[in-house]
Amino acid sequence: MQSIAMGFSSGQGARTVKLLTFAAGIIILAEVIGSFTFKIGPGKVVLLPMIWALLLGAALGVISARSNNAARLDTQAQFYAAAVLQPALLLFIAKLGLMIGSALPKLAAAGWALAFQELGHFVGTIMLGLPLALILGIKREAIGATFSVGREPSLAIIGEKYGMNSAEGRGVLAEYLTGTIFGAVFISIFAGFVASLHIFDPLALAMGSGVGSGSMMAAASGAIAAQQTPEVAKSVMTFAAASNLITTTVGTYFTLFISLPMAVFGYRILEPLIGRTTSASDASAAAEANRPKLGDVETAAPELGYGGKVLAWVATAVFALICDWMAHGTTPFEGLPGMLTMIAAVIIGDALATLTGRKIPAVCWVSFVAMFATSPWCPWGAYLADVSDRNDFLGVTTPMLAFAGLSIAKDLPAFRRLGWRIVLVSFVANAGTFLGATIVAQFFHV
């Protein structure tokens, strides 16, 4: 397998330029389309530019598969997009850390109920989702699909540990797609139904609503608050927001050090006992069959050298500045200091991970560095927090999902094998994270 030391080998240089050109076009088109909201029953679905970027990238890959045009996005380029996605995810982690740093005092004052309910969020997904996935014949994709609710930090964790070309990577991406499109509607209906049973305290239900997704948190807490008095409804929204903040921050470490090892352990124990063989079991084989063979001009699944990673970070940062400019009018000059802070946190965090033999993953180091940068304990914390606030959270997410979309088409045979089963598993995992956190919060709150 040819190693891409700088991201520009003979044939790879043209492929890199092509990939970045496609990504730029998709990102600009996604921002032009903008947000679109529509109602489904008691809930609503919000399609943001990041979702258009994901869908447009996937559509381009599907169209390319049916074309022999030299400008098409071939399968090898799709594998390269997946390789670029992995370091690009670290930029998202840096942005998340910069947001957390200034909020650390608020998190410390959140209380024990909010702290311990976090365990319920991630244990609940595994206890309900993993057994169901195995019974339905899903294999290692079940690990990625059930160790969390599959939001952006989960993509980063799986991407670094297994790679987005792995079965686990396909699982977490399938969970992400299902949760993004249907998650808010499902959790709104489910949370409203559970609240109507009057089994749990409204504030415990509110803490359970903070699943780590803003849209899902708003949908769940809104359905719960609608059944309360105005005073209690206000407390529900407050506790839900605090819970979601903790899930989005502390939850990254729970997923990495607790829930992911639990999912792997559970898979090893349960798969021989309850695992079945169905059409979904061949998902990995279907993906492997679509992988270019060693006889091709350049093999798939390239490993980026350090130069390739830097290229991914810089390209993602440039695209994020464009997104901020188009969406909010923040000029690249205004957004550049915050973006440079993100890149610096990624470079320092990745270097620390390398120096420590990657015993602690880069996602943790990058998060630690970024959190310290904007924390009250950093001499420049206030300034760095101010410049970082100029960069929109979604601006970083859109380029990341554009690369994800450009890498999806190669896995379509595997996704077809998973089919409705992965959607059902996603719904059960989402229900599990809500119930698990609510039960734990009920125990500590009451």
Strands 36-40 and 43-47, how do they pair?
Answer: antiparallel
Residue 2: is its pLDDT beyond 60? no
Amino acid of residue 352: L
252-264 pLDDT, tens digit each: 777 888 889 999 9
Average the pLDDT over each of 93-97, 124-128, 213-217, 309-313 and give the range with the smallest value: 213-217
Rounded Cα–Cα distance for residues 154 and 176 (Å): 9
Which band of pLDDT confidence, cut at 50, 70 and 90, is reported for residue 350? very high
Q: Of 369, 391, 365, which Cα lies nearest the Cα of 380?
A: 369
Give me 236's structure tokens: 């529900």
Give the DSSP letter of residue 298.
S
3-state DSSP call for residue 8?
coil
Q: Which of residues 299 and 334 earns the better pLDDT score?
A: 334
Rounded Cα–Cα distance for residues 183 and 331 (Å): 33
* Mean pLDDT, rounded, for 283-298: 60
3-state DSSP call for residue 283?
helix
Amino acid of residue 67: S
Do the Cβ atoms of 48 and 267 come closer than 8 Å?
Answer: no
Do the Cβ atoms of 186 and 430 come closer than 8 Å?
Answer: yes
Give pLDDT, residue 134: 93
Q: Which of residues 105 and 6 earns the better pLDDT score?
A: 105
Rounded Cα–Cα distance for residues 229 and 244 (Å): 22
Do the Cβ atoms of 86 and 316 come closer than 8 Å?
Answer: no
Rounded Cα–Cα distance for residues 300 and 75 (Å): 8
Rounded Cα–Cα distance for residues 223 and 276 (Å): 37
Give me 115's structure tokens: 């702290």
Rounded Cα–Cα distance for residues 275 and 283 (Å): 15
Do the Cβ atoms of 168 and 139 come closer than 8 Å?
Answer: no
pTM: 0.76
Rounded Cα–Cα distance for residues 250 and 401 (Å): 23
Do the Cβ atoms of 233 and 222 come closer than 8 Å?
Answer: no
* Mean pLDDT, rounded, for 354-376: 87
Do the Cβ atoms of 95 and 393 come closer than 8 Å?
Answer: yes
pLDDT, the chain, mean: 82
Q: Which of residues 202 and 214 earns the better pLDDT score?
A: 202
Q: How many helices (H) and strands (E) in the chain?
A: 20, 2
- Could you tell me what percent of the chain has a pLDDT over 70? 85
Give the DSSP letter of residue 46.
E
Report for 17-21, 123-127, 288-292: range of highest mean pLDDT:
17-21
412-445 pLDDT, tens digit each: 777 777 888 888 998 998 898 899 889 888 887 6
Give the DSSP letter of residue 149.
-
Q: What are phi and psi of 268, to 5 degrees?
A: -65, -35
Burial of 417: CB neighbours in 10 Å, binned 0-12, 13-18, 19+: buried
DSSP character string of 374-433: HSTTSTTHHHHHHHHTTS-HHHHHHHHHHHHHHHHGGGHHHHHHHHHHHHHHHHHHHHHH
Residue 244: is its pLDDT beyond 50? yes
Give me 421's structure tokens: 């089963």
Rounded Cα–Cα distance for residues 146 and 378 (Å): 37
